[in-house]
Amino acid sequence: MANVVNLPVLIAIQQLVASSTHIVARSVALTVPATTVVFYRGVFSVCTYALWIFMLRRHHHIERPHRADWWRLALLGLVNMPLNQYLFVAGLSRTTAPNAALAFALSPVFVLALASVLLRERLRFQAMLGIALAVIGAIVVAFGHGASLEHGETLGNLMELAASCAWSFYTVWGRPFVQRYGAVPTTAIGMVWGLVLFLPLVALTPGGLVPPQALSLRQWGEIAYLGIITSGIGWALWYALLRRMEASQLAVFNNLQPVMTVLLSWLIFGELPPLAFWVGGTIAIAGVILTQRS
């Protein structure tokens, strides 16, 4: 799916999709319960991957997962939807998009620690220095764009931080399966398991599932974007890239999300970036470049 020539293009597309997710998810999270958003998003995602797998099987052999891997893939699904996606959407109703971007800018730190333990990736000084610079740059950009640590947003910020930790585990835990089975099949299995394991939360949450006819066309459009574009394309691209790169090298690109979120706000809403954006963005990009050269 990815080769050396188009890796930078795929990284740019994946990060653009991920950055837009903060804006779209924030919009729908303010008006629709998180359980409803995540459930319908999951349905869109599973349908997207079903179509994708059907098309792939016409041209490529897809290896069936080994029996011993099923519980590990189930854990991947648990981290995917009931933890990462639910905490991310639910947290956005209690905090801001810049704060969410800030939480996910810390994911390279979590990935670096997990990868050193679970994948035995070597901790190189230059890589650690690059990640530190990228995180600092992302923090500067996020705070310059409105991120804050106000008391009223504490719960939402903690939920976003937990979602970031879950995403980091999803990245590290999934890498061996991506190399064994491929990006699309691994992501597809994770989505199916995630939706199945999310059903009990939907059933136990009073008013957790809004009837389809009660949602507006805009809300359906936003949920479809999250399910088809973010989960259906963005997540598969992430795993495709993970097949070619070490987890810590790929995760540092998340530090560009606050930068790209500000750029999207500039293009969509005409919000002129403050000085902190240019300073922090430069630091973040320098950190990413340093990490890739390690």
Between CA 87 and CA 33, with CA 149 as vertex, the angle to 5 degrees is 30
Rg (CA), the chain: 18
Answer whether residue 232 is part of any domain: yes
Residue 198, in any domain of the structure = yes
Predicted local distance difference test score (pLDDT) of residue 80: 93
Please identify every stretch of the chain with a pLDDT value under 70, giving residue numbers as ranges.
1-5, 144-152, 265, 268-273, 277, 294
Distance CA 151, CA 147 (A): 13
pLDDT 10s digits, 183-221? 999 999 999 999 999 999 999 988 889 999 999 999 999
- Give per-residue pLDDT as tens, 127-145: 788 888 878 877 777 776 6
∠ CA 92-97-102, nearest 5°, is: 105
pLDDT of residue 151: 62
**Other Cβ atoms within 10 Å of 218 Cβ, number:** 11
For 211, list phi and psi in degrees, rounded to 5. -60, 145
N- to C-terminal Cα distance for the chain?
24
Which amino acid is it at 61? H
Res 120: pLDDT: 81
Instruction: Supply the pLDDT for residue 149.
Output: 66
pLDDT of residue 67: 87
Instruction: Report if residue 81 sits inside a domain.
Output: yes
Q: Is residue 87 part of a domain?
A: yes
Q: Which residues contact 217 (CB under 8 A, 6 or more apart)?
A: none
Predicted confidence at residue 95, as pLDDT, reads 82
The domain total for the chain is 1
> Two tokens at 251?
């995760």
DSSP assignment of 145-208, as one string? Answer: TT----GGGHHHHHHHHHHHHHHHHHHHHHHHHHHHH-HHHHHHHHHHHHHHHHHHHHHHSTT-
Answer whether residue 262 is part of any domain. Answer: yes
Asked whether residue 2 is domain-assigned, the answer is no
**Enclosing domain of residue 114:** 7-292
Q: Is residue 1 part of a domain?
A: no
Token pair for residue 130? Answer: 């690059």
